[in-house]
Structure 1
Amino acid sequence: MDHEKVNILLVDDQPAKLLAYEVILKELGENLVVAASGREALEFLLKNEVAVILVDVCMPELDGFELAAMIREHPRFQKTAMIFISAIQVSDFDRLRGYEMGAVDYVPVPVVPEVLRAKIRVFAELYRKTRQLERLNSELEDRVRARTAELEQSTARLVESEQRRSMAIAAGKMGSWDWDWVNGDWMWDDGQYKIFGVDAKSFELNSANIQALFHPEDFDGLREAWTEFAKGVKSYEAEFRIIRPDGEVRWCVGTAAATTDRNGRVVRVSGVTVDITDRKRAEERQSLLTREVDHRAKNALALAQSIVRLTRAQNVNAYVQAVEGRITALARVHTVLSLSSWQGAEIRRLVAEEVAPYSEAGQIQYEGAEVQLEPATAQTLALALHELVTNSAKYGSLSALPGRLGITWEVQSDKLILAWVETGGPRVTKPTSKGFGTRSVIASIETQLGGKADFDWRPEGLVCRLTVPLQGKPRTEAIPYRDVNAPGPEPALSSRSA
Structure 2
Amino acid sequence: MDHEKVNILLVDDQPAKLLAYEVILKDLGENLVIASSGREALEVLLKTEIAVILVDVCMPELDGFELAAMIREHPRFQKTAMIFISAIQVSDIDRLRGYEMGAVDYVPVPVVPEVLRAKIKVFAELYRKTRELERLNQELEDRVRARTAELENSTAKLRESEQRRSMAIAAGKMGSWDWDWISGDWMWDEGQYRIFGVSPESFEVNPANVQALLHPDDVDQLRKAIAEFNRGTRAYETEFRIMRPDGEVRWCVGTAAATVDDSGRVVRVSGVTVDITERKRAEERQNLLAREVDHRAKNALALAQSIVRLTRADEVKAYVNAVEGRINALARVHTILSLSSWQGAELSRLIDEELAPYSLGGQIILAGPQVQLLPATAQTLALALHELFTNSAKYGALSTRSGRLTIGWQVEDQLLTLSWEESGGPLVMTPKSRGFGTRSLLASVESQLGGQARFDWRAEGLLCRLEVPLTRKPAATPLSEKFEDTGSAELQRASG
- 8 Å CA contact 1:436–1:484 kept in 2: the answer is no
Letter in 1 for 2:340: S
Does residue 1:335 correspond to 2:330, yes or no? no
Cα distance between partner residues in 2 of 1:434 and 1:444? 14
Deviation at 1:253, TM superposition (A): 0.6
Within a 5 Å distance, the mapping from 1:435-474 to structure 2 comes to 435-471=435-471, 474=474
Kindly indicate whether the alpha-carbon contact (under 8 Å) linking 2:410 and 2:418 is maintained by their aligned counterparts in 1: yes
1:210-230 CA-partner distances (Å, limit 9, x unpaired): 333322222333333333323
CA gap of 1:409–1:182, structure 2 versus 1, over 3 A, is farther
Correspondence for 1:162: 165
Work out which of the two has the higher radius of gyration on C-alpha atoms and give 1 or 2: 1
Q: 1:299·1:477 contact (CA, 8 Å) conserved in 2?
A: no
SS of the aligned residue for 1:433 comes to coil
CA distance, structure 2, for counterparts of residue 327 and residue 385 of structure 1: 13
Residue identity in the other structure for 1:191: G
CA 1:224 to 1:139, structure 2 compared with 1: closer, same or farther past 3 Å?
closer
Shift of 1:209: 3.5
Corresponding residue for residue 387 of structure 2: 387
CA distance in 2, matches of 1:335, 1:346: 12
Query: Aligned pair in 2 of structure 1 residues 76, 191: CA closer, same or farther (>3 Å)?
Result: closer
Shift of 1:429: 4.2
Q: Is the 8 A contact 2:449 2:472 kept in 1?
A: no
Q: CA deviation at 1:354?
A: 0.3
Partner of 1:254: 254
The answer on whether the counterparts of 1:376 and 1:476 sit within 8 Å (CA) in structure 2 is no
Matches within 5 A, 1:66-215: 140=145, 144=149, 152=156, 154-165=157-168, 167=169, 169=170, 171-215=171-215
1:164 match: secondary structure: coil
- 3-state DSSP class of the match of 1:484? coil
The worse-fitting range, judged by mean Cα deviation, of 387-396 and 299-308 is 299-308
| Counterpart residue number, 1:484 | 483
Q: Secondary structure at the match of 2:289?
A: helix
Q: What's the offset of the Cα at 1:310? A: 0.8
Offset from partner CA, 1:385-442 (integer Å, 9 cap, x none) = 1001111222223234443322233444444433323334444444343221111112
CA distance in 2, matches of 1:274, 1:302: 45
Partner Cα separation in structure 1 for residue 347 and residue 210 of structure 2: 55
Equivalent residues of 1:305, 1:478 under 8 A apart: no
Instruction: Report the CA distance shift for 1:236/1:308 in structure 2 as closer, same or farther (over 3 A).
Output: same
Cα distance in structure 1, aligned partners of 2:130 and 2:480: 60
Whether the 8 Å CA contact 1:234–1:258 is kept in 2: the answer is yes
Name the CA distance, whole Å, in 1 between partners of 2:249 and 2:431. Answer: 64
Instruction: Within 5 Å, give how 1:50-69 maps onto structure 2.
Output: none
Q: CA deviation at 1:255?
A: 0.8
2:376 aligned residue: 376
| TM-score for both structures, normalised by structure 2 | 0.65
What is the Cα deviation at residue 147 of structure 1?
A: 5.5
What residue number does 1:344 align with? 344
CA distance in 1, matches of 2:187, 2:417: 68
Task: Please list every run of 5 or more consecutive structure 2 residues that lacks an aligned counterpart in the other structure.
Answer: 1-39, 51-74, 77-127, 133-137
Structure 1 residue 274 displacement after superposition: 0.8
Q: In 2 relative to 1, CA 367–161 (structure 1 residues): closer, same or farther, beyond 3 Å? A: farther
Distance 2:418 2:254 in 1: 59
| Aligned 1:10-21 pairs, distance under 5 A | none
Read off the aligned partner of 2:353 and give its amino acid letter.
E
The residue aligned with 1:128 is none
| Other structure's SS at 2:377 match | helix
Distance 2:413 2:225 in 1: 59
Question: Does the CA contact (< 8 Å) of 2:427 and 2:493 recur in 1?
Answer: no
**What root-mean-square deviation, in Å, do the aligned CA atoms of Structure 1 and Structure 2 show?**
3.8
**Alpha-carbon deviation of 1:479?**
2.3
Aligned to 2:135: none
In structure 2, how many angstroms separate the alpha carbons of the residues matched to 1:76 and 1:308? 49
Q: Distance in 1 between matches of 2:243 and 2:131?
A: 38
- Per the TM alignment, residue 138 of structure 1 is displaced from its structure 2 partner at its CA by 8.3
User: 1:315 corresponds to which letter in structure 2?
Assistant: E
Is the contact made by 1:250 and 1:275 (CA closer than 8 Å) also made in structure 2?
A: yes
Cα contact 1:436–1:485 (8 A) shared by 2: no
Question: Cα offset for 1:193?
Answer: 1.6
Secondary structure, aligned partner of 2:313 = coil
Please give the alpha-carbon distance, in whole angstroms, between the structure 2 residues aligned to 1:308 and 1:146.
79
Write out aligned runs for 1:263-274 (5 A). Answer: 264-274=264-274
Q: Which amino acid aligns with 1:178?
A: D
| TM-aligned CA deviation for residue 256 of structure 1 | 1.5
- Structure 1 unaligned blocks of 5 or more: 1-36, 50-73, 79-132
Q: Give CA-to-partner distance per residue, 1:428-469, whole Å, 9 cap, x none.
A: 444343221111112223344444433333444333333444
Alpha-carbon distance between aligned partners in 2 of 1:326 and 1:477, rounded to the nearest angstrom: 19
Q: What is the CA–CA distance in structure 1 between the aligned matches of 2:417 and 2:149, rounded to whole Å?
A: 79
CA contact (8 A) 2:453 2:465 kept: yes
Displacement of 1:382 after TM fit?
Answer: 1.3
One-letter amino acid matched to 1:491:
E
Q: Deviations over 1:270-320 (max 9, x none)?
A: 211011223223323333333333333323322222222111112222212
The amino acid across from 1:158 in the alignment is S
Please tell me whether residue 420 in structure 1 is matched to residue 420 in structure 2: yes
Partner Cα separation in structure 2 for residue 139 and residue 270 of structure 1: 18
Alignment-derived partner of residue 312 in structure 1? 312
Distance 2:202 2:469 in 1: 56
Q: Decide whether the 8 Å contact of 2:151 with 2:159 is kept in 1.
A: no
Please tell me whether the aligned partners of residues 423 and 461 of structure 1 are also in contact (alpha carbons under 8 angstroms): yes
Distance 1:242 1:287 in 2: 23
Letter in 1 for 2:487: G
CA 232–288 in structure 1, closer or farther in 2 if over 3 Å, else same: same
Offset of residue 356 of structure 1: 2.4
Q: Is the 8 A contact 2:433 2:489 kept in 1?
A: no
Residues 398, 404 of structure 1: 8 Å contact kept: yes
On the 8 A contact 1:406/1:420 being kept in 2, the answer is: yes
Give the whole-Å Cα distance in 2 for the aligned partners of 1:264 and 1:145: 31
Residue aligned with 2:213, SS: coil
Distance in structure 1 (CA, Å) of the matches to 2:262 and 2:316: 89
- 2:296 matched residue in structure 1: 296
Task: Give percent identity, aligned residues only.
Answer: 61
Q: 2:254 and 2:403 mapped to 1: Cα distance?
A: 74
Q: Residue by residue, what CA displacement relative to the aligned partner does 1:339-366 show, whole Å, maximum 9, x if unpaired?
A: 3344432222111010223452312122
Structure 1 422/278 Cα, relative in aligned 2: closer, same or farther at 3 Å? Answer: same
Give, in angstroms, the shift of residue 383 of structure 1: 1.2
Q: 1:161 to 1:359 in 2, by over 3 A?
A: same
Could you tell me how far apart the structure 1 residues matched to 2:242 and 2:419 are? 56
What's the secondary structure of 1:172's corresponding residue? Answer: coil
Rounded to whole Å, the distance in 2 between the matches of 1:178 and 1:473 is 58
Cα 1:452–1:271 shift into 2, 3 Å:
farther
Cα deviation, 1:145-182, whole Å, max 9, x if unaligned, reads 9959x964x545522332233x2x2x311100123344
Give the aligned partner of residue 353 of structure 1. Answer: 353
Q: Secondary structure at the match of 1:328?
A: helix
Alpha-carbon distance in 2 for matches of 1:350, 1:401: 24
